[in-house]
Amino acid sequence: MTKIKNKTILVTGGASGLGKLLALRCLQKGAKQVILWDINEKELNKTTTELEQRTYKVHPYVVDVTQIKDIEWAAKDILNTIGKVDVVFNSAGIVVGKSFAEHSDDEIKATIDINVLGVMRTTKAFIGAMLADGSGHIINIASAAGLIPNPNMSVYASSKWAVVGWSESLRLELEELDGELRVLTVTPSYINTGMFDGVKAPILTPIMQPDDIVNRIIKAVESNEIILRAPFIVKSVPLLRGILPTRVFDKIANTLGVYGSMDEFKGRA
């Protein structure tokens, strides 16, 4: 079982939202220190001050995960000055809520760069030390959108489908090796962090509260779970999509309000 206590934790997108809560919960569980990566320097400094005032050890880094040079520089500095990272939470992400035809090329590129390449490149930067040590835990925050299509989030969904496929494949590769190398793939539905402001919760799929999903993620890490789907209804999606004709599944998803959930999306201001 992975223990958070006395471990070095890295959280991308750690200045706010889900990332900030994950960092705090790890520190509350006794983590030795947390390393926060975020592009927003102002929020990063604010979160660092908040945590340090509670006597926690925090290492802030202004990192744009779309820039390979940022990732490589920060990872090199961390490995040389702090040491091996035991647990990586890949939680940085963005969403553009509009039809595909309305997406600009910059929006498409940013979504893929942050949600897919940022996750892969961050993991690549630290996995060598994990392999050498024979231990490490990588947590990839994907989305239920990585399991089901949804209008007005086509590019976001594609990025999360990519993360799910990559994350599960990485898990299988690491399980073939000796040691304690773990991967957890997280596919939550909408979370009330501001990122999805304006969405309408589908029937049977309530919008999740941040504390709830963070508690579930930490519990899943500590028990070495390999997949976390939440809330409960999300667990049924792969089965239903596998056994039902596509048009039948579409009708059910539409009736439950899944396909209309992004109609009034506003997002974080």
- Confirm whether 160 is domain-assigned: yes
Q: What is the pLDDT of residue 153?
A: 97
**Domains identified in the chain, total number:** 1
- Confirm whether 3 is domain-assigned: no
Query: Would you call 263 helix, strand, or coil by DSSP?
Result: coil
Convert the pLDDT of each residue in 90-143 to its tens digit. Answer: 999 999 999 999 999 999 999 999 999 999 999 999 999 999 999 999 999 999
Sole residue written with tokens 């060598």: 128
Convert the pLDDT of each residue in 212-258 to its tens digit. Answer: 999 999 999 999 999 999 999 999 999 999 999 999 999 999 999 99
- Confirm whether 55 is domain-assigned: yes
Q: Is residue 259 annotated as part of the catalytic site, yes or no?
A: no
Q: What's the pTM value of the predicted model, to 2 decimals?
A: 0.97
Supply φ then ψ for residue 199, to 5 degrees: -70, 150
- Confirm whether 268 is domain-assigned: no
- Confirm whether 188 is domain-assigned: yes
- Confirm whether 207 is domain-assigned: yes
- Confirm whether 212 is domain-assigned: yes
Q: What is the pLDDT of residue 203?
A: 96
- Confirm whether 269 is domain-assigned: no
Distance CA 1, CA 19 (A): 22
Convert the pLDDT of each residue in 150-204 to its tens digit. Answer: 999 999 999 999 999 999 999 999 999 988 999 999 999 999 999 999 999 999 9
Sole residue written with tokens 């004709």: 245
Q: Choosing from 61, 156, 190, 259, which is the catalytic residue?
A: 156
What CATH number did the domain enclosing 165 receive?
3.40.50.720
Which range marks the domain in which residue 83 is found? 8-255
